[in-house]
Structure 1
Amino acid sequence: MTRSQIAGRKVTESNAYDGPERRTRLRIEGDAKQAMETGRNRLVVGGLLFAMAFLVVAGRLIEVGVLGTTPERNTATIWDVDPDRFARADIVDRNGVVLATNLPTRALFADARIIAPDEAPVIARQLAGIIPDLDVPGTRKRLASGRAFIYLHRDLTPAQVVEVNRLGVPGLNFEDAEARVYPHGRLVSHVIGLTDIDNNGLAGIEKRFDDDLRGSNKPLKLSLDVRVQNMLREELYKAMTEFSAIGAAGLVMDVRTGELIGMSSLPDFDPNNIETATEEAIFNRGSLGVYEMGSTFKLLNTAMALDSGRVNLSNAFDARHPLKVARFQISDYHAKNRWLTVPEILVYSSNVGSARMAKFVGTQTQRDFLGKVGMLKPAALEIPEVGAPLIPSPWRDINTLTISFGHGIAVSPVQLANGISTLINGGIYRDATLLARNSGSGVVAGTRVIKPSTSDAMRALMRAVVMEGTGKKAIVPGYMVGGKTGTAEKQVNGRYKRKALMSSFIAAFPMQDPRYVVLAMLDEPKGTKATFGYATGGWVAAPVVGAVIRKLAHLYAMPPVDETEPTVLQAVALPAIEPGGMLKLASY
């Protein structure tokens, strides 16, 4: 066979195997390949569909959970309200510490039209289990009222919102709101006041500046220093507890500006929980209460006499015997039974000497002077709770005598502090204020009402009272404290009650260059074994003032002075009265 024949045979033999079996095998392989390709295509399509579904779900979760664009449909609905409805500016102290602010909260209300009346009792009980202070009978009645909009509770916590939502009750809805909160609670309650549920001012600064605070983003800055307020309240509370007093009041005033750095009244209340406050606790003894301030008024009486030009420090008045006027008798607590100079009348707190001095100067002079230093008009304080002084009408001679030692006229502690500030700051009257006053020099302009020489004399006299008289328990070494005690019997049913005392002490420091006036007053204190049963101002109020001054000086880093240094002594020295130099006046 030739090579070509052999090759042709191989081809023929090879083709002999392409029979039915070969064709069947090829067809099976093709079908399997087609099925595999179809499955692969289906998997790809399914994966793409799954990925798209995942992206849709993820996007929806982001929209609802993060962007919050869609409210829940099967539970309570959250309604948006006009933010200006609740907007209210913060109130801060002189250093920017927040005293009153707003916090976001939620209000719960209902559309009672879609709540079946027979479901109202059940829903009310369910809500009461979440909101403890909820009025169940009232809520049940409101839910059954059929009204379109009724508030159920105005101040829900976030946890309560979640729990109400879980009830899944149709018709319960939420509204964004704001709650007024007072971070320091009762500490500044009488000054700040409070608002109602709709953020309307009801008392204090909140009421006085209601319109200014609404819709404003600028905080209202007060003159108070919350640190001073805290130390003042602390010392008053300790004394009130120690001497079983029924109340107390105190304040700290900057004599150069009239700013009240602290003002406290006890008992007080928590404006965050006003429902628990009593009427007595709400009453502001510092500015609304007016009292006969006792012998602290002798400072005003002495300044009046000196400023009149008719009396000087070397003059003396007869204090040998009680002074009788008609059916009244004026006597001294610790009588010296002799003629007393003007400084001695103040140091020994002589009622007789003060009365004779007032009589000598005259009723009209007394009245004019008291008017100039703010005793005859309400304090110009920026809160509604300001008391009007009680003054005699007509102003008889007997009134002139008793007013000289603080009886027969009633003023507020703020008025008294304002007047004493005027006596020792150089003779400039400045209205008391609860607002921070901006002054680059630290001194605010005012009106001169007494002579500088009178002011100099009063500083020396007040220092003498503390060093030699009834104010020794207010001494703070290095800070040149000066002041005056006051103890007045209270009137009960038109008669003075001997054991019901209003005991006070008013001081200033440092007397060589006065910066602050500090006043403390206790209402009906009781003497203790430590005070030998005394409850007078020198025993119960002077120590409070001393403690406050000590802390205040430390807080404001006021350096102590050497009280024996000649220039310091000279600044508060009384002129020496030579033997025989005393001039006796008005013996009658």
Structure 2
Amino acid sequence: MKFSPALKGNASKRGSPAGNAHSARSRTVLTSLLFLSVFSTIGGRLVWFGLSAQNQTDGMFVSSIPVTDRPDIVDRNGQVLATDLKTASLYAEPRRIVDADEATEAVLTVLPQLDPGTLYKKLDSKAGFAWLSRGLTPMQQQAIFNLGVPGIGFRTERRRFYPGGAEAAHILGLTNIDNQGISGMEKYLDDSGFRALQTTGLASSDGLSAFKLSIDRNVQHVVHEELVRALKEYRAIAAGGVVLDVDTGEVIAMASVPDYDLNEPGNAPLKKENLNRMSAGTFEMGSTFKIFTTAMALDFGVVSINSRVDTSPFHVAGHTFKEFHNEGNSLSVPDIFKYSSNVGSAREADMVGVDRHQEFLTRLGLLSKMQTELPEVAMPTQPKTWKKINSMTIAFGHGVSTTPLNTAVAAAALINGGYYIPPTFLPRSEEEAKAVRRKVAEPRTSLDMRAIFKLNGEEGTGRQADVPGYHVGGKTGTAEKVENGRYNHNKRFNAFVGAFPIDKPRYIVMSIIDEPQVEKGKPNAQAGWNAAPMVGNMVRRAASFLHVQPTFGEVGRDLMRGY
């Protein structure tokens, strides 16, 4: 047989070393292509399953935003207030479930809180992916693992942990199941850019610095503990407190009780009684408003600290103004404050005039929604139209509702030299505070108010708040609560606004107590017997954390030197 030249040439190559090498290369390429095809198919299936797990399956939404670490939240001294812990979440691949009934019964032995019908429906759906339970404990994870149910697995996620439990609940706020902030400073953190980092996948534990607050964890503990104690001691329905730096506007501590453990919140944040009364609740603040009435009269120059004011009864628009305790037909300006004279305060407001009165309270931020980082803040309420009668009743704390935090910030402005400084829950230096402050009163007015605060702390209704060595001055407020359009004489909202050390104030310390009952051995349930002692207790326990040294005069200094 004869071969054509071409075929003969090819045949000769097959038998040659060159031909064998060519065949080997061909087989290698073919094998590579085969493996590439197989791995491409496997990779495609993995991508498909991944997409299935990230999308809506079996009526259940799985977030497309990756669950990532959040930065620690720390106090002003670096103590941890919130941090992330690794946790396991339970999922199922229903298509791999052999017996949905059996699998349902098995899972319920470990997680009896799950709804049996919903669980069965998920396991019997033949979907690609379904969440069963998030945030398991290590013991629950191990128990489910021991069941050995095919088609059920775990995913490591992040869960927020709060070492203080309930202590700073209303400041820190909460995160949702996907570790995203939904209230408090957790929400502020997300709204300030962290959520954008999460969405883009740039948030990682390696690159996140701690998020520092102005809060002092030790002072926060003291305030919270005193509120819990007061709630029980005075048999009240709620209590609250705040410690504010008068020169920087920093909130050093703030709490409102009842509250809830941030680690096990359940539906507690939705309950009315757990409202953050300090910033998200508005109240008639009673006689604490005489702080602003007195300062207003001094600042506009209608009185001086040495003036006397007529305090005899009078009538306006069908209403009679008279004293609860008559201390005479005229009182000095400090005595109006000391004896908490409603008539004297109404007269001072009348001398200032309606328009200037409204403008002054607006200037102090009492009638405006507070601008701060905390999302939960309430809008104060006031009369739609101010008349003379409104101005006179507002002078002693009836007719305007504002938040306790608004009240504390306004009081700080009248104690720190006359500057309104917006409150902040973030660290702020005095230099930074000077850049955002605005003048609202004359320095002379501030000096006079310090003297009046001091007098009331030593001789007036604030005596129960004074702490030896720390010189607390301030003003009580006892307001009857409004129910069905009328004042209820048996229900009170009490407050005390204190400043210390009063000779050169550094802090405002304020307390509120809602519907306190008469304590055994006390004549009544007015603020001097509950709200004032609450502030005294806070100052006594927190002063050392605030780096305020007590002073005891010349004799005391000599004794301290000897000690």
TM-score (norm 2): 0.82
CA distance in structure 2 between the aligned counterparts of 1:330 and 1:185, rounded to whole angstroms? 48
Post-superposition offset of 1:491 = 0.4
- Code of the residue aligned with 1:158 in structure 2: it is P
Query: 1:19 maps to which residue?
Result: none
Post-superposition offset of 1:272 = 1.7
Deviations 1:269-327 (A, max 9, x none): 11221225261343110100011101111010010011112221122211122x32123
Higher mean C-alpha displacement, 444-453 vs 378-387: 444-453
SS at match of 2:102: helix
Q: What percentage of aligned pairs have identical amino acids?
A: 43
Post-superposition offset of 1:102 = 1.3
Deviations 1:208-230 (A, max 9, x none): 22243444512221111111111
CA distance in structure 1 between the aligned counterparts of 2:273 and 2:209, rounded to whole angstroms? 31
Which of the numbers 102, 112, 130 marks the counterpart of 1:122?
102
- Indicate yes or no: 2:292 matched with 1:312: no
Which of the numbers 276, 279, 283 marks the counterpart of 1:287?
279
Does structure 2 retain, via aligned residues, the 8 Å contact 1:204–1:383? Answer: yes
CA distance in structure 2 between the aligned counterparts of 1:107 and 1:529, rounded to whole angstroms? 52
Post-superposition offset of 1:443 = 6.8
Query: 2:213 maps to which residue?
Result: 222
- Code of the residue aligned with 1:97 in structure 2: it is Q
- Indicate yes or no: 2:543 matched with 1:561: no
CA distance in structure 2 between the aligned counterparts of 1:517 and 1:398, rounded to whole angstroms? 31
Post-superposition offset of 1:518 = 0.4
Query: Structure 2 matches for 1:159-238, cutoff 5 A?
Result: 159-211=139-191, 212-214=193-195, 215=198, 216=203, 217-238=208-229
Query: 2:491 maps to which residue?
Result: 500
Does structure 1 retain, via aligned residues, the 8 Å contact 2:67–2:158? Answer: no
Which of the numbers 101, 107, 131 marks the counterpart of 1:151?
131
SS at match of 2:167: helix
Which of the numbers 543, 547, 570 marks the counterpart of 2:537?
547
- Indicate yes or no: 2:313 matched with 1:333: no
Higher mean C-alpha displacement, 375-384 vs 494-503: 375-384
Q: Which runs of 5+ in 1 are unaligned?
A: 1-78, 566-588
Which of the numbers 384, 387, 409 marks the counterpart of 1:418?
409
How many positions carry a matched residue from both structures? 483
SS at match of 2:518: coil
Query: 2:451 maps to which residue?
Result: 460
CA distance in structure 1 between the aligned counterparts of 2:380 and 2:404, rounded to whole angstroms? 11
Question: In the superposition, relative to structure 1, how do residues 213 and 93 fare at CA in structure 2: closer, same or farther (>3 Å)?
Answer: farther
- Code of the residue aligned with 1:360 in structure 2: it is M
Does structure 2 retain, via aligned residues, the 8 Å contact 1:94–1:224? Answer: yes
CA distance in structure 2 between the aligned counterparts of 1:262 and 1:444, rounded to whole angstroms? 23
SS at match of 1:417: helix
CA distance in structure 1 between the aligned counterparts of 2:520 and 2:112, rounded to whole angstroms? 48
Query: 2:94 maps to which residue?
Result: 112
Which of the numbers 90, 95, 100 marks the counterpart of 2:72?
90
Post-superposition offset of 1:380 = 1.4
CA distance in structure 1 between the aligned counterparts of 2:91 and 2:432, rounded to whole angstroms? 55
- Code of the residue aligned with 2:316 in structure 1: it is V
Does structure 2 retain, via aligned residues, the 8 Å contact 1:508–1:517? Answer: yes
CA distance in structure 2 between the aligned counterparts of 1:458 and 1:465, rounded to whole angstroms? 11
Question: In the superposition, relative to structure 1, how do residues 443 and 385 fare at CA in structure 2: closer, same or farther (>3 Å)?
Answer: same
- Code of the residue aligned with 1:176 in structure 2: it is T
Post-superposition offset of 1:468 = 1.4
Aligned CA-pair RMSD: 2.1
Does structure 1 retain, via aligned residues, the 8 Å contact 2:453–2:474? Answer: yes
Does structure 1 retain, via aligned residues, the 8 Å contact 2:309–2:344? Answer: yes
CA distance in structure 2 between the aligned counterparts of 1:126 and 1:173, rounded to whole angstroms? 14
TM-score (norm 1): 0.79
- Code of the residue aligned with 1:123 in structure 2: it is A
Which of the numbers 340, 346, 352 marks the counterpart of 1:361?
352
Query: Structure 2 matches for 1:50-65, cutoff 5 A?
Result: none
Query: Structure 2 matches for 1:39-78, cutoff 5 A?
Result: none
CA distance in structure 2 between the aligned counterparts of 1:203 and 1:83, rounded to whole angstroms? 19
Post-superposition offset of 1:168 = 2.4
SS at match of 1:195: coil
Post-superposition offset of 1:333 = 1.9
